[in-house]
Amino acid sequence: MQRLRKFYQLVLLFVVFILSFTFFTERQAKSSAKVSYEVKIPLGIPKDLWEIFVPPDNPITPEKVELGRKLYFDKRLSVDNTVSCATCHDPKFAFTDGKKVSEGVRGQKGARNAPTVLNAMFFEQQFWDGRAPTLEEQAKQPIINPVEMGMPDHDAVVKKLKGIPEYVDAFKKVFGGEITIDRVAQAIAAFERTLLTGNSPFDRFIAGDQNAISESAKRGWQLFQGKARCITCHEFNRSNPFFTDNKYHNIGVAMNKEGFAELARKAEQLAKQGQLDKRKLDELALDPAYSELGRFLVTFNPKDIGAFKTPTLRNVELTAPYMHDGSEATLLDVIKFYNRGGNENPNLSGEMRPLNLTDEEMNDLVEFLKTLTGEFPKDFPENK
């Protein structure tokens, strides 16, 4: 009887070992399938964090990244072959365009400033209003927006790309099949997940190099965390080193738009009456008549009227002009805006209040923000 009991114990241990080995092997295989691309992770970004943010349904491979790079810079994705993703998100401008608001096909102007693509993979939603939940969904929208790249629909995009032999061959190699709009978006998103920035003077300072930033910048860092209250929304910690809370706030910038107060009242009434729908969300976001409603266009929640996403501050020195409408020309202008408590309106965030910063303190904050300028990919064949 005792021998039989020992025998069953050994069998049980063997089964547990086999199951554990199988689970570990499958998990390792899934992890390997998810990422087979060696990306350079800069100081300041945890490597495991990057791997976590690569979605299982869009594993990264060198071939997919290369295809995504070509699509990102290819102006043939626009209706008249004049605009690419890189037109508004240019490496020369830290993946923005240096303009107040972006310009699309036929010189048309949108209503919002182009945010940087750098580190965008870590953001919980995309666009100033968060209307796209992923990089893949974000990549699809500008191509068919009449103000941006102007293609009539996604079928037209696919048809156009199928007429280019190099893309037919590339998609077959990367995806094992034909071109689809989902695969176009997956390739562009895979490339964008390699667009990382870090190793700034601030990163080296936080890592222990006390000489990496100036005394003025050190004072600015203390102000950022304290009196200036910047860190309330521009969060920073080791697991979220991107200087954003990924949330949406009304700081009063929308009040720059003439007639905004009346628009806000009308939008609130329509929301209460259930007379709004999301069918033209992407178009409304770029329509100057509606764009200032911000996050409201996504949620239809009156509390979100005039609210926009907290942007990352990394490389902020290089991404002027500022705010979602490009209304502030310099970093000092931005700090003065916050110092006076923003622009008063019924939906103003409760976090907004006068800061009573001195001129010296505001200059120290500017010096600190400059230390967030880091390294990022700049050299691409298409961009020379």
pLDDT for 43 equals 97
Residue 233 annotated in ligand binding: yes
Residue matched to tokens 């200036």: 228
pLDDT for 384 equals 63
208 in a domain, yes or no?
A: yes
- Domain residues for the domain of 213 are 201-251+309-371
Cis check: omega of the bond before 381, within 30 degrees of 0: no
Residues of the chain with confidence (pLDDT) below 50: 1, 4-5, 7-8, 10-33
Q: Is there a contact between 186 and 138 (Cβ–Cβ < 8 Å)?
A: no
Q: What is the pLDDT of residues 60-113, one digit of tens each?
A: 999 999 999 999 999 999 999 999 999 999 999 999 999 999 999 999 999 999
22 in a domain, yes or no?
A: no
Residue 324 annotated in ligand binding: no
CA atoms within 13 A on the CB side of 357: 29
Residues 275 and 356 in one domain: no
Taking the CA atoms of 10, 16, 17 and 18 in sequence, report the sign of the dihedral they define. positive
Residues 231 and 107 in one domain: no
Residues 58 and 131 in one domain: yes
279 in a domain, yes or no?
A: yes
Among 152, 171, 193, the domain boundary falls at: 193
| String of DSSP letters for 104-117 | -GGG-B-SSPPPP-
pLDDT for 190 equals 98
Residue 88 annotated in ligand binding: yes
Phi-psi region of 305 (alpha: psi -120 to 50; beta: other; left: phi over 0): beta
pLDDT for 156 equals 98
CB atoms within 10 A of CB 341: 15
pLDDT for 261 equals 81
294 in a domain, yes or no?
A: yes
Residues 226 and 343 in one domain: yes
53 in helix, strand or coil? coil
Residues 327 and 234 in one domain: yes
Residues 126 and 239 in one domain: no
Give me the number of domains the chain comprises: 3
Residue matched to tokens 């790309």: 161
Residues 259 and 332 in one domain: no
Taking the CA atoms of 210, 213, 217 and 222 in sequence, report the sign of the dihedral they define. negative
Residues 74 and 189 in one domain: yes
d(CA 142, CA 232): 32
Residues 322 and 174 in one domain: no
Active site residues: 148
Of 125, 115, 50, 102, the C-alpha closest to 311 is 115
Residues 102 and 161 in one domain: yes
Residue 154 annotated in ligand binding: no
Q: What is the pLDDT of residues 312-352, one digit of tens each?
A: 999 999 999 999 999 999 999 999 999 999 999 989 999 99
366 in a domain, yes or no?
A: yes
Phi-psi region of 243 (alpha: psi -120 to 50; beta: other; left: phi over 0): left
Going through 245-348 in order, the beta strands assigned E by DSSP cover 248-249, 308-309
Q: Is there a contact between 73 and 84 (Cβ–Cβ < 8 Å)?
A: yes
CATH code, domain with 181: 1.10.760.10
C-alpha pair distances (Å), 193 with each of 134, 136, 137, 170, 230: 11, 11, 14, 19, 27
Residue 89 annotated in ligand binding: yes
Among 149, 165, 193, the domain boundary falls at: 193
Among 174, 193, 212, the domain boundary falls at: 193
281 in a domain, yes or no?
A: yes
Residues 353 and 210 in one domain: yes
Of 119, 123, 128, the C-alpha closest to 251 is 128
CB crowding 233-258: b at 16 or more within 10 Å, else e? bbbbeeeebbbbbbebbbbbbbbebe
10 in a domain, yes or no?
A: no
Taking the CA atoms of 113, 114, 118 and 124 in sequence, report the sign of the dihedral they define. positive
37 in a domain, yes or no?
A: no
Record the pTM.
Answer: 0.88
Residues 288 and 317 in one domain: no
d(CA 207, CA 201): 10
